[in-house]
Amino acid sequence: METFRYLPGVTTLRLDEKDCTGCGICEIVCPHGVFLLHNKKARIHDIDGCMECGACAKNCPTEAIGVSPGVGCAAYIIQTWIKGKNAAACDGVECC
Amino acid sequence: MNPEFPQNTGCCEKPDEPAQAITIAPKPIVEKHQPEEVCCGSPPGPASLEFEKPGYALLDFVEGFVETPVGSVPRVKTAFKWPDYTGTIKVRLGINRDQFKIAPGLYCVGTPDSKAPVLVTANYKLTFDVLRKELASLNAWILVLDTRGINVWCAAGKDLFSTAEVVRRVNLSELKKVVVHNQLILPQLAATGVAAHHVKKESGFKVIWGPVRAKDIRSFLTNGLKAEKSMRQVTFTTRDRVVLIPVELAHLPKPSLWILVTAFLISGIGTHVFSFPAAWARGIMLTIAYVTGILAGAVAVPVLLPWIPGRSFALKGAILGILGGAGIVVLFQSNVRVFGALALMLCTTAISSYLAMNFTGSTPFTSPSGVEKEMRKAIPMQAVALLLAIVAWVGSAFAG
C-alpha cells in the first residue's frame, strides 16, 4: 500500500533465501506486496511495507521466513506493558 | 463493502455442470386458501413456511433450505434487507458489537451442487453480510467458522480463524459428503492464522487463497480462481477510515467523565482556595480544549491520515492538536493570558496525540515493532505535556 507508509527500519521480518523453495506462497498471502519471486526464489522487495502480520511465516512450508508477529495496536501494547503478554486482551479497546 | 460494486456482471450463467444427486427444497411458500370474510380484526398474515420448525426462529437472511447428504443447509439471501442495514449501523456505532455473530456451520447461496466452490468465512455477522451481498446469482457453499463473532483478520491474529478451526469445521460439517472436490477458498487475510499446508495435511482439503476483499470474490471465481495484484493488497480508503470513527468515539464516554470532573475541579483552584464560579467558567474552557483534542485525534486524524505530515501517529495527532489548540486560544483570547493559553494548547495537543496513537490499532499497515517504538517516545512526551498543562492552568489562576 504505497499511499500509507509507517516507520521504516523496524520490522522483525527475515528471509533465509537458502531455505526457500520458490513456492511463491509468501507473495500470495502478503497483504502489502513485500515479497516478489525472482529466479524461482522469494525476495524481500519492500521491507518497510511489512506490518508483521505473520501470514508469510505461517504459510512458508520450509520455515524460511521468520517474523515476530503481532498487532500494531497502541491500546493492546499498553496492556502488555501493564498486565504482561499473556493477560493482555483486546477487550474494550478499539483495535479488533 | 463497496456499495458501488456491480451486482450483475453477467458472468453467472450456470456452468455446464452435470445434474447432481442433491435435490433442492421446494419453494417455501405454501399456498393456502384465505378466508374470504374477516370475522374479527384485520386479515390474517401469511401461512407458516414449509420449513418452519416448532421451537426455532427463522433468521431474516435465510430464504430457504437446500437438501444435502448431510441434511438441510440454509440458503441465504444475497440482497440486503432492512434488518441487515439497521444491524450494520448499530454495530458501527459500537452497539452490541461483541454479540453480532451467526451460528457457525455450512450455509449456501443459490443452488450449489457437489462441484460448487466452498467459501470459508468468519462468523462476525458484518463479515458474513459483506460476503453474501457479493454472491448474487452465484452458486456456492459458505463454511462459517466459529471466530467468536470477530472479523477475518482480527480473528486470524488471535488464532481463532486458525488451522485447527478450519479443520474442525470441515469435519463437523461433513463437507466431504457435500462436495466432490477438495478445495476451500479462504479470504487472504486469514493467512495470519491459517497454514495452508497444514490444513491440507490434516483435512485433505487444499486451501486456495481468495482475494482480500469480498467485493472481488466474483471476479476471482469467474477468472479461474486467480486474483490480480490489486486484489491481494489491503487498502485504507477514506470511507474505510470514516466508518471507524464512531467506534473510536464510543470508547471515550467513561474515561471522559473522570477527566472532565478533574478538569472542573482544578479549574476552581485559585487565590480563594476554591471558587465555584471559576470552576464553572474556566472548566468550560478546559472542556472545550479537551473536546477539540478528541475531534483532532479521533476524527480529523483518521479522515486526513494520508495528508498529515510525519509517519508516527502520535506526531500526526500532535500536529492537528497544536492547530486545534491554536484555534481555542484565538477563541478565548480575551479570557486567558499566556499561561492559560499554553495550558489549553498543551491539553489539546496531548489528548489529540494520544488518541491518534491509539488509532494505529484500527489501521491495516502499522507494525507492532513500529507502534511500540513510537509509543516509547510519545507516551512520556504526552504525559509531560499533560502535566505541564495542569501546572500552567492552575498557575494561571494565581498569576491572575
Q: Say what the pLDDT of residue B47 is.
A: 86
Position A76 scores a pLDDT of: 84
User: What is the least distance, in Å, from the CA of A66 to any CA of chain B?
Assistant: 13
Distance CA B360, CA A73 (A): 5
B71 contacts: CB under 8 Å, gap ≥ 6: none
User: Which parts of chain B have pLDDT scores under 70?
Assistant: 1-39, 97, 400
Give me the phi and psi of B312, to 5 degrees please: -75, 135
Say which residue the cell 448474487 belongs to: B136
User: What is residue A90's predicted lDDT score, i.e. its pLDDT?
Assistant: 54
Q: What backbone torsions phi and psi does residue B270 show, to the nearest 5 degrees? A: -170, -160
Mean pLDDT of the A8-35 span: 96
Cell numbers given for B373? 517504538
**Which chain A positions have a beta carbon within 8 Å of B370's beta carbon?**
6-7, 10-11, 72
pLDDT digits (tens, 9 = 90+) for B319-344: 999 999 999 999 999 999 999 999 99
Q: Write down the H helix ranges in chain B.
A: 82-92, 125-133, 152-157, 163-172, 175-178, 196-203, 217-222, 238-242, 245-250, 253-268, 276-294, 301-304, 313-331, 338-358, 368-399
Domain spans of chain A, in order of start:
14-70
Substitution target from B148, B158, B160, B192 for chain A, most A beta carbons within 10 A: B192
Antiparallel, parallel or unpaired: β B71-76 and B269-270 = unpaired
Tell me the nearest-neighbour CA distance from A69 into chain B, angstroms.
Answer: 8
Structure confidence by residue, pLDDT tens digits, A65-76: 999 988 888 888
> Within 10 A of B67 (CB to CB), how many other CB atoms are there?
14
**Would you state the cell numbers that stand for residue B360, as one nine-digit string?**
494505529
Collapse the DSSP code of B101 into the 3-class scheme (helix H, G, I; strand E, B; otherwise coil) and give the result.
strand
Cβ atoms of B392 and B342 within 8 Å: the answer is: yes
| pLDDT tens per residue across span B10-54 | 333 344 444 344 444 445 444 455 555 556 778 888 888 877 889
Q: Tell me the C-alpha distance between A42 and A37, whole Å.
A: 4
The span from the CA of B78 to the CA of B59, in Å, is 14
B62-234, CATH topology level: Rossmann fold (3.40.50)
DSSP string for residues in B283-295: HHHHHHHHHHHHI
The ipTM estimated for the assembled molecules is: 0.90
| A22 within 8 A of A42, measured Cβ to Cβ | yes
The domain made up of A14-70 has a fold known as Alpha-Beta Plaits (3.30.70)
Domain boundaries, chain B: 62-234, 240-399
Number of cross-chain residue pairs from A and B with Cβ atoms under 8 Å apart:
154
**Cβ neighbours around B302 below 10 Å, total:** 22
B246 touches chain A (CB under 8 A): no
Distance CA B151, CA A73 (A): 16
Q: Which of residues 77-96 of B touch A (CB under 8 A)?
A: none
- β-partners of residue A42 are A37
**Interface-testing mutation among B148, B151, B365, B381, with chain A (most A C-beta atoms within 10 A):** B365
Question: Which residues make beta-bridge pairs with B141?
Answer: B108, B118
